[in-house]
Amino acid sequence: MKPWDPHVLPYKHITAAKKNLLNLSPPAVLFLGFALLIAIGTVLLKLPIASHSETSWLQSIFTATSAVTVTGLVLLDTGTHFTLFGQIVIALLIQAGGLGFMTFAIVAAVSLGAKLGIGQQVVVQEAFNQTNLEKVSYIAKYVLIYSLFIELTGFILLVLTWFNELGLSTAIHQAFFYTISAFNNAGFALSSNSLTPYFNNLSINLVITALVIIGGIGFLVLIDIKKQKSWHKLNVNTKIVLLSTFIINLCAFTLIWILEVKSPATLGQLSISDQALTAWFQAVSPRTAGFNTVPIEELTQATTTLMILLMYIGGGSLSTASGQKLALLLFS
């Protein structure tokens, strides 16, 4: 890029900057998009109304980055340090990061009748790992439709579960945050103990794990299931993701139960049904989310090692999950 020349009209500098931006590679454009999202989140979390006490710039950028990348690591207790405003900001960052800002951009552009240029088409195809632009638009629309439906269902179920215990307003607050955090596989919690108080709550355990699994298998799988409606007609990727998810979760569930059943600090003193429920939750959550219903520090070394392996595996392609993608892991 040429240095700034004060004798050149300002609009020419703007045009030159725009050309340089358009010349960026698709990965660079995506990187800048996420960087901008993180920057906006950082500023919002730094505002006085976002927290009960002062938040440093380092803490703000760490939290924003963790939310956008659906990592789930925190420096501050999300439930006690941040205000309702701050928690909503974190939830929206998780949603934007989990679904991808490109999804929102594509749907907005298509809805308004805008046509994408060649450079924009390449960026979009790179973001969705698809070569067919029409298919990308189709996928983007269904990503938002499915996400809204699934999250709304999870939200309603959690509100109904928490209503008697917490009251309507708090139930809505908790359900809103945990639905987004679970479906986007982020693992952010409103308590430093995560979900340990609800280790024996059947509804919360099943809803949260269902959201985690559905978000983790990927939208291509969900679209294929809706379209084909028959196991024999599903494409190979869908079958691989569904089978591997089932097998991995079942094996992890069995191993965690065996490894922890004699430990009084985790499963040892629970009833058989509570042992099964807790083992199931801990089998599903580490691979893509990060919630826990037992104290992590009390787990045996063998279980901790297993959880590390589960974290590495990750979820399906074009999903909200992190880690290695299932298809890549199986065929690498």
Q: What is the pLDDT of residue 266?
A: 95
Residue-wise pLDDT for 261-272, tens only, equals: 999 999 999 999
* Statement: residue 107 has pLDDT above 80: no
Average pLDDT of the chain is 83
**Rounded mean pLDDT, 227-252:** 88
Q: Is residue 1 part of a domain?
A: no
Q: What is the pLDDT of residue 42?
A: 98
**Rounded mean pLDDT, 66-76:** 92
Could you tell me how many residues make up the chain?
332
* pLDDT tier at 130, thresholds 50, 70, 90: low
Q: Is residue 6 part of a domain?
A: no
* Statement: residue 75 has pLDDT above 80: yes
**Rounded mean pLDDT, 213-218:** 87
For residues 314 and 204, membership in a common domain is answered with yes
> Can you name the residues that pair with 82 across neighbouring β-strands?
51
Report the number of distinct structural domains present in the chain.
2
For residues 235 and 291, membership in a common domain is answered with yes
Q: What is the CATH number of the domain that holds 80?
A: 1.10.287
Give the residue from 131, 161, 178 where a domain finishes.
131
Report the C-alpha gap between 138 and 107 in whole angstroms: 9
For residues 89 and 137, membership in a common domain is answered with no
Q: What is the pLDDT of residue 224?
A: 83
* pLDDT tier at 46, thresholds 50, 70, 90: very high
Any idea which of 197-211, 222-236, 237-251 has the lowest mean pLDDT?
Answer: 222-236
**Rounded mean pLDDT, 204-230:** 88
Of the candidates 287, 150, 245, the residue with the CA atom closest to the CA atom of residue 207:
150
For residues 244 and 105, membership in a common domain is answered with no
Q: What is the pLDDT of residue 255?
A: 97
Using a cut of 0.75, tell me whether the model's pTM lies above it: yes
The secondary structure of 112-123 as a DSSP string is TT----HHHHHH
Q: What is the pLDDT of residue 126?
A: 52
Q: Is residue 72 part of a domain?
A: yes
Q: Is residue 46 part of a domain?
A: yes
For residues 47 and 163, membership in a common domain is answered with no
Give the residue from 91, 109, 131 where a domain finishes.
131
* pLDDT tier at 7, thresholds 50, 70, 90: low
Question: Would you say 322 and 100 are in contact if contact means Cβ atoms under 8 Å apart?
Answer: no
Long-range contacts of 74-82 (CB under 8 A, 24+ apart): 74/188, 76/51, 77/192, 78/188, 78/189, 78/190, 79/189, 79/190, 79/191, 79/192, 80/52, 80/192, 81/51, 81/52, 81/53, 81/55, 82/45, 82/50, 82/51, 82/52
Q: Is residue 86 part of a domain?
A: yes
Question: Would you say 332 and 323 are in contact if contact means Cβ atoms under 8 Å apart?
Answer: no
Q: Is residue 17 part of a domain?
A: no
For residues 121 and 138, membership in a common domain is answered with no
Any idea which of 80-89, 144-153, 227-236 has the lowest mean pLDDT?
Answer: 227-236
**Domain membership of residue 321 as a residue range:** 133-331
